A and B are shown apart, each in its own frame.
Chain A
């Protein structure tokens, strides 16, 4: 296991989320940037839904009490093992009492730390993803003990053949599909929306990212309908709200656009003030 010496700004345990419970109103949850979380798992030869630690903006500090293998992917938070800088997107060994520290993010917004075999917290509705009140705690805290199976064998490097695609962190274009209510927009509005320069507002978290500026419209709220992560809702006030992994299962605002899975991962690595363009993807 390892002990949380510092939790960082907002760190949660995440896997690929809860599949099959949306009919009861349960959000899917799961890692915000699934590309990076699954990359870290792949490096270790884990299943792609093994539970990882997701750190946001400022990373934590952790002390290991059993040997294992670790991989870090996603945003760069200057990871140091026993005060020595280590590389991301590679596998390294940790020994008993080693301390792994992360700092302030310098590139991207969310970092994933995977452990050989995955974190072993309790399953709730077939997933370890933290989401309150489905799980008792919404995030990890200082002093928490996280379990994993110890692993003391050498790692066979040949497992790793893929290269981390860092464009997930640097891309500024979100590819989108037209949303179910896209055609409520006039041709001018469509043109405007698809060519706007958008900015991430202060309202951004695991539930939703609000984008600026306001997009004026005369839409009435509509009949409550299903939504998914990546659904872009347009409110009567003109807010563009991109729903993210912890979003509600239904919503009552017109769904003007739908982000591709890759675009959700890209947006997850953005923070307040970052600018973005959107590009319509052919179906």
Chain B
């Protein structure tokens, strides 16, 4: 797909490139493809390239002399790569224990939506979600693909201490809290998997463009995986790698 992009100088050393402001898988593909080409082009320089739903931000570690030259360079790069699909992504299966102990809002959620808990778990775990990008907190995944049936406005009063690994629903989104933090989403379960670890590099094994699926596990499996993670003898492997 060919999009008409907007190029904008964000500050002395950054350029913002925008696609239409909608959440859409095809836009994400176009973004990731372009992002990949930009990263390849600048491989020898210290440049950060990050993306969100509909934009790429390029952060150079130097002041941009001529922004028009940079725009031209980027535009011709976009034209050269737009018809070639070239990025890698993985599918991850994240084990989640959906129970009342870990999912303190399971009952409330089921009541509010008129869905039995097993049905709710089935709907939440059968879908394949797309990782649009990581932001908000270190390791927080912005996931697309939550069934309409599971949309529910955030809680009126946020929970002051949501536990790390909590799997939750807020509005039209589902997500995993990568660390203990306050939060207003409805908590329906918990994963023993660590989404973010600052002491390994890269700190997060999931990347923008990857897919994830939640796999229901029971409490004993949760405890088992959790213990293996503590002993560093557990490594989540992608279910599939798309090239």
Residues on A facing B (Cβ under 8 Å): 19-27, 124-125, 133-135, 177, 180, 222-226, 228, 230, 248-250, 258-261, 283
Can you identify 24 A-B contacts, CB atoms within 8 angstroms? A19-B46, A19-B61, A20-B46, A23-B48, A23-B51, A25-B140, A25-B178, A26-B198, A125-B198, A133-B138, A134-B198, A177-B10, A180-B16, A223-B22, A223-B23, A224-B142, A225-B55, A226-B16, A226-B135, A249-B136, A250-B52, A250-B133, A258-B11, A261-B12
* Cβ-defined contact, A24 with B16, below 8 A: no
Please determine whether B55 and A24 come into contact, CB atoms closer than 8 angstroms.
no
Q: How many angstroms from the CA of A62 to the CA of B137 in the assembled complex?
A: 34
Chain B contacts for A260, CB-based, 8 A: 11-12
Q: How many residues on B have C-beta within 8 angstroms of the other chain's C-beta atoms?
A: 45
Would you call B50 an interface residue if the criterion is a C-beta within 8 Å of the partner chain's C-beta atoms?
Answer: yes
How far apart sit A12 and B136, CA to CA, in the bound complex (Å)?
22
Question: A125 CA to B202 CA in the complex, in Å?
Answer: 8
- Residue from B10, B12, B53, B137 in contact with A248 in the complex, judged by beta carbons closer than 8 Å: B137
Q: Enumerate chain B interface residues (CB-CB to A < 8 A).
A: 8-14, 16, 18, 21-23, 46, 48-55, 57, 59, 61, 67, 133-140, 142, 178-179, 196, 198-199, 201-204, 207-208
* Structural contact, B136 and A250, CB atoms closer than 8 A: yes
Tally of A-B Cβ pairs under 8 angstroms: 107
Contacts of A259 in B (CB 8 A): 11
A177:B198 contact, CB within 8 angstroms = no
- What is the CA–CA distance of A26 and B136 in the complex, to the nearest angstrom? 9
Majority DSSP secondary structure for residues of A touching B: loop
Contact between B54 and A124 (Cβ–Cβ < 8 Å)?
Answer: no
CB pair A228–B138 under 8 Å, yes or no, is no
Q: Are A20 and B48 in contact (CB under 8 A)?
A: yes
Contact B134 A24 (CB under 8 A): yes
Q: Do B21 and A222 touch across chains, with their CB atoms under 8 A apart? A: yes
A-side contacts of B52, CB under 8 Å = 223-226, 250
Q: How far is the CA of A226 from the CA of B52 in the complex (A)?
A: 6
Contacting A223 at CB < 8 Å: which of B54, B61, B135, B196? B54
Complex Cα–Cα for A125 and B139 (A): 14
Known: A228-B10, A249-B50. A23 touches B57 (CB 8 A): no
Give complex CA distance A228, B139 in Å: 18
Among B23, B46, B57, B67, point to the contact of A228 (Cβ < 8 A): B57
A22 touching B10 by the CB < 8 A rule?
A: no
* Nearest chain A residue, comparing its CB with the CB of B11: A258
Q: Are B50 and A22 in contact (CB under 8 A)?
A: yes
User: Are B9 and A226 neighbours in the complex by a CB distance under 8 Å?
Assistant: no
Bound form: Cα–Cα A25–B176 in Å: 14
In the complex, the answer to whether B207 meets A23 with C-beta atoms within 8 Å is yes
Task: Decide yes or no: A283 and B67 within 8 Å by CB, A19-B46, A124-B199, A228-B10 being known contacts.
Answer: yes
Which of chain B's residues has its CB closest to A122's CB?
B199
Query: Do B138 and A25 touch across chains, with their CB atoms under 8 A apart?
Result: yes
Q: Which residue of B16, B53, B136 is within 8 Å of A25 (Cβ)?
A: B136
> Which A-B residue pairs are the 6 nearest by beta carbons?
A250-B135, A226-B57, A24-B204, A25-B138, A25-B134, A134-B198
| Chain A nearest Cβ from B6, distance in angstroms | 9
- Min distance, Cβ B93 to any Cβ of chain A, angstroms: 20
B54 / chain A contacts, CB cutoff of 8 Å: 223, 225
Cα distance, A76 to B179, chains bound together (Å): 37
- Choose among A25, A134, A248, A283 the residue that contacts B9 (Cβ–Cβ < 8 A): A283
By the criterion CB–CB under 8 Å, are A177 and B9 in contact? yes
CA distance A259 to B11 in the complex (A): 8
The reply to whether A223 and B59 form a contact with Cβ atoms under 8 Å apart is: no
On whether the beta carbons of B8 and A249 are closer than 8 Å, the reply is no
B138 contacts which chain A residues (CB < 8 A)? 24-27, 133-134
What are the residues of chain B within 8 A of A25 when measuring CB–CB? 134-140, 178, 196, 204
**Could you tell me the distance in whole angstroms from the C-beta of B166 to the nearest C-beta in chain A?**
16
Output the least CB separation between B83 and chain A (Å).
Answer: 25
A26-B203, A248-B136 given; 6 more Cβ-contact pairs under 8 Å: A19-B46, A23-B48, A222-B21, A226-B51, A258-B10, A260-B12
